[in-house]
Amino acid sequence: MKPSDCVRSVPMEMNTLLQIQSLFPSFTKSEQKIAHLVLAQTEQVIYTSIIDLAEKAEVGETTVLRFCRKIGFGGYQEFKLALAKELVHPVKNLLGEVEENDSMNVISQKVATAHQKAVKDTHVLLDTDLVERCVELMRTAQIIHFYGVGTSAVTAQDAKYVCLRLGLRVDAFTESHLQAMAAATLGPEDVAIGLSVSGSTKDTIDALQLAKEAGATTICMTHYQRSPITRVADMTLLTAAQEGPLQGGSLAAKIAQLHVLDVMFTALSMRIKEKAILYKERTAKAVLERKY
């Protein structure tokens, strides 16, 4: 192993950008391209997938990972998290455009605007022909699986509940071992849907890959058109709301996911109208006695 390839431990007080500047002469020419880009476009990099950063810097993805390790990080996501923490306005990083001195009324307005924008922008991004194909695949599927972790796990569970009410054979898996085992049981007549805003969630990507290898049709829902999850998905549905490393669990990103799913489920219920009505009645009666 070359000395330059060793992982350096970044001191807690060390600013990552200063660390990059300090180590710049030791970088290879390819790594220097990444350094130039990060230093010039720090805020944009926080919202950039590893594939897009590699493409912008005209280097390979492995070079990006090697660059991150050289400055003391285990991977690209850890590197982005450090950059986000070091930007001059942490409140803005955490909550979008909300300022520390905003009144409650102003905060409410800004949050509402962000959520409305998430839905509006996602609608613009939505490829309706692709959604139509996904709906048809779900209509004819023997089994439908949803995979997601973190906030996307909540979305996956919500999707499962809606599909159950439509009378579909569906399940949602949010733990890595269960995801892997469930994905391996699928076949050519099944559909697997992976949810990941970043498109870089390893557990979800691995599960989708296993489902694909088992013969299932794979669909992913992500913000980034060029991200690792899109490589294992037969079809990619895009959502507009992005989230930085400090915004894990962004409600706007979740709302964008739910909007796409709601469009799909609404269209699906129209195509299986009689079945949907029947199972909605059955499921409603099944829980009737559990309500006051």
pLDDT at 124: 84
Q: How far is CA 103 from the centre of its chain?
A: 31
Which tokens is 248 given?
A: 């894990």
Residues 8-22 have a mean pLDDT of 60
Residues 53-58 have a mean pLDDT of 93
In tens, the pLDDT along 187-196 reads: 999 999 999 9
Q: Which residue has the tokens 């500047």?
A: 21
Write down the domain spans for the chain.
Answer: 3-91, 109-290
pTM reported for the whole predicted model: 0.71
Q: Work out whether the CA dihedral 45, 49, 89, 109 comes out positive or negative.
A: positive
Cβ atoms within 10 Å of 167's Cβ, excluding its own:
17
Closest to 228 (Cα-Cα) out of 61, 85, 74, 80: 61
The pLDDT mean for the chain works out to 86
In tens, the pLDDT along 136-180 reads: 999 999 999 999 998 899 999 999 999 999 999 999 999 999 999
What is the C-alpha to C-alpha distance for residues 169 and 105, in angstroms, rounded to an integer? 44
What is the widest separation between alpha-carbon atoms in the chain? 71
Q: Indicate if the pLDDT at residue 242 is higher than 60.
A: yes
pLDDT at 131: 96
pLDDT at 112: 86
Residues 10-34 have a mean pLDDT of 75
Residues 241-267 have a mean pLDDT of 81
pLDDT at 246: 55
Ordered DSSP codes for the chain: --GGGSPP---TT--HHHHHHHHGGGS-HHHHHHHHHHHHSHHHHHT--HHHHHHHHTS-HHHHHHHHHHTT-SSHHHHHHHHHHHSS-HHHHHHTT--TT--HHHHHHHHHHHHHHHHHHHHHH--HHHHHHHHHHHHH-S-EEEE--THHHHHHHHHHHHHHHTT--EEEE-SHHHHHHHHHT--TT-EEEEE-SSS--HHHHHHHHHHHHTT-EEEEEES-SSSHHHHS-SEEEE-S----GGGTT-HHHHHHHHHHHHHHHHHHHHHTHHHHHHHHHHHHHHTGGG--
pLDDT at 102: 82
Report the topology of domain 3-91: Arc Repressor Mutant, subunit A (1.10.10)
In tens, the pLDDT along 84-111 reads: 887 754 444 444 567 778 888 888 888 8
Q: Give CATH superfamily name and number for 109-290.
A: Glucose-6-phosphate isomerase like protein; domain 1 (3.40.50.10490)
